Structure 1
Amino acid sequence: MKQLVIVVLVIFIIGLIPTFECSKKPSAAARKEDIPYIKCQVCEKLAAELYHQVEKKQAEIAPKKISEYQIIEIAENVCNLKKAEADWILQIDIVEQGDKLELVDQNTEGQCNSECKTIERACQEVMGYSDTDVAEYLYSSKPKIDSLVNYLCKDLTKSCTTKPPPVPKDRTPGEPFVAKSSKEAEMEKMMRSMEGMPGAPGMKMYSRDDLMNMKNFGGEDDDEEEEEEEENFPSNLGKVLREKERKNNDWKNRITKGVSKAGEALKQHAYKVSNKVRHWWRAKTGGLKSSKPTKQEL
């Protein structure tokens, strides 16, 4: 009985899985030599992205006001392609323009190859250890986007204080931008959201044909037993499965909420501790003058 239910569920799931295979591909490496040519542009786009994501988060939780911790979380994830906050990187193409490299927004997600990894690396170099500083500035000053660009790219990181060097004539061009299909982008988002869940690491998505050809749902020795079970299989299978799914979902929702609340509490505690350490260190080193504005109470 149990094996037959599993087979029915697997066949149902197969119908929902896209026909393409999303198995892990060899990841392309960042071209570190290209970073000086695009660092200022990456910083400007990063600042704009931080501004818009903070605005979006504020709209989602209104009428509550966004906390400094929530802004720090965005700043920590915005340069990490494993996080949804960095999806903006997937939409950018590096285009050769004479002796310059231009970042061109394609308004759709593309395959992440060396150019994608290069932008991610440049973004990480820009942000460095400045995530809490820029988050505090966003929280306390609520700047316009131009002010945020100047603060992040000129005052805080110096990414745009000098003109980028000309691109060497013998530079090997980057790969062309290849857009993802909507199904592929959706499946990758789903897989990324499952990272960190028990059993999720190393997961591989298979094509429909692969799943249909799998033989690990029971051996030949079980055939006779299955035939006997089929005779007693309830006619109201749909009702049984729906009831079972409802109960499973109730448990999943409870566990998910519990884990989420615990994780949020731990992150809040970690932030408070690191913030105290940071202020203690500044006092210990003689209260060096910071380029950040005075924090205002909301």
Structure 2
Amino acid sequence: MASLNKTVISISLIICLLQIVNNCLALNNNKGGIARKEDIPFIKCQVCEKLAKELYEQVKDKQLKISPKKITEYDIIEISENVCNLKKQEADWMLKIDIVEKGDRLELVEQDSEGQCGSECKTIERACQQVIGYYDTDVAEYIYKKKPQLSSLVNYLCKDLSEACSTKPPPVPKGRAPGEPFVAKSAKEAEMEKMLKSMEGMPGAPGMKMYSREELMAGKGLDDEDEDEDDEPSIPSNLGKVLRETQSNKKLDWKEKITKGIKDAGEATKKHANKMAFKVQKWWKAKKASFTQHKSKSGKQEL
């Protein structure tokens, strides 16, 4: 019964941890944007071509990363499911694209760095989701079994499956309101967002300190002592492996194994999560101080 209670607590704390991630992302992306659905027909084919390229390259990178192991169909399905979701790292490619109006057409122009995600970013995401739709497993199966070249993958996804490129896009109406300018993120902002995305799916963290958005902005918890990274135990990637460990060559019964496994995973995750929270708070304090200093200088110049 005690083991079951601890399991329930761990599951509850997973939700709390994801809430922290969402709060932190809200601090850094408070402007946001709404997709312009009327622009999708003008860019759908280009989005499909870039999507096919991303699938091809990400699968290739994944294979190189896990070599000499062979990439599985499940690995490819995971990529195809996430590649059009801006909450996932697989969709970061969309953050580098600017929609530029050229004559009577819209063109997707790739930039050197990631930009702030506004309405154009959301429009590309929506177009991407319309293209892949329910075909994520189909295209994953095609890549896994056929191992196609990029040109073949583009034809399969953009003409055979989605038909995104089966017809020429219509001309852009003259009265179309221009989109927002592309604003590049700072290196620190991009790094912070990647770190927060990587925290998604982390196991529960019993006893982790929780801070609201207002508390983070006020710098609460910044005086807490940082954990030494070298002293931190690694987070168990597989709870089953933890449960199989023996202590002092003594065979534990199954209840003790479950209790020990949950405790070990919880303690390690607690330290890791608190460290991430400290980093987020320090990053926000530095950004807030920089903004205040800039505002102060501007005020003096006006005087």
Structure 2 residue aligned with 1:112: 117
State the shift of 1:157 in Å.
Answer: 0.7
Contact 2:31 2:118 in 1 (8 A): no
Structure 1 residue aligned with 2:195: 190
Q: Which amino acid aligns with 1:180?
A: K
SS class of match (2:238) = helix
Structure 2 residue aligned with 1:75: 80
- Seen in structure 2, the aligned counterparts of structure 1 residues 181 and 260 have a Cα distance that, compared at 3 Å, is farther
Structure 1 residue aligned with 2:98: 93
Q: Residues of 2 paired with 1:78 and 1:164: CA distance? A: 23
Structure 1 residue aligned with 2:154: 149
Contact 2:99 2:120 in 1 (8 A): yes
2:235 to 237, 245, 253: 253
Structure 1 residue aligned with 2:54: 49
Quote the sequence identity (%): 61
Instruction: Give the TM-score, by structure 2 length.
Output: 0.63
- Seen in structure 2, the aligned counterparts of structure 1 residues 127 and 216 have a Cα distance that, compared at 3 Å, is closer
Q: Residues of 1 paired with 2:101 and 2:92: CA distance? A: 23
State the shift of 1:203 in Å.
Answer: 6.4
2:138 to 112, 133, 137: 133
- Seen in structure 2, the aligned counterparts of structure 1 residues 258 and 162 have a Cα distance that, compared at 3 Å, is same
Q: Residues of 2 paired with 1:42 and 1:260: CA distance? A: 42
1:173 to 165, 175, 178: 178
- Seen in structure 2, the aligned counterparts of structure 1 residues 127 and 210 have a Cα distance that, compared at 3 Å, is same
Whichever of the two has the greater Rg, that structure is 1
Q: Which amino acid aligns with 2:122?
A: K
Unaligned runs of 5+ in 2: 1-25, 243-303
- Seen in structure 2, the aligned counterparts of structure 1 residues 31 and 135 have a Cα distance that, compared at 3 Å, is same
Q: Residues of 2 paired with 1:34 and 1:160: CA distance? A: 15
SS class of match (1:253) = coil
SS class of match (1:39) = helix
Q: Which amino acid aligns with 1:258?
A: L
Structure 2 residue aligned with 1:63: 68
State the number of aligned residues: 213
SS class of match (2:109) = strand
Contact 1:23 1:205 in 2 (8 A): no
Q: Which has the higher contact order (CA 8 A, sep 6+)?
A: 1
Q: Residues of 2 paired with 1:38 and 1:201: CA distance? A: 42
Flag as ranges the 4+ runs of structure 1 deviating above 2 A: 21-24, 195-207, 214-218, 256-261
Q: Residues of 1 paired with 2:85 and 2:171: CA distance? A: 28
Q: Which amino acid aligns with 1:68?
A: E
Q: Which amino acid aligns with 1:61?
A: I
SS class of match (1:57) = helix
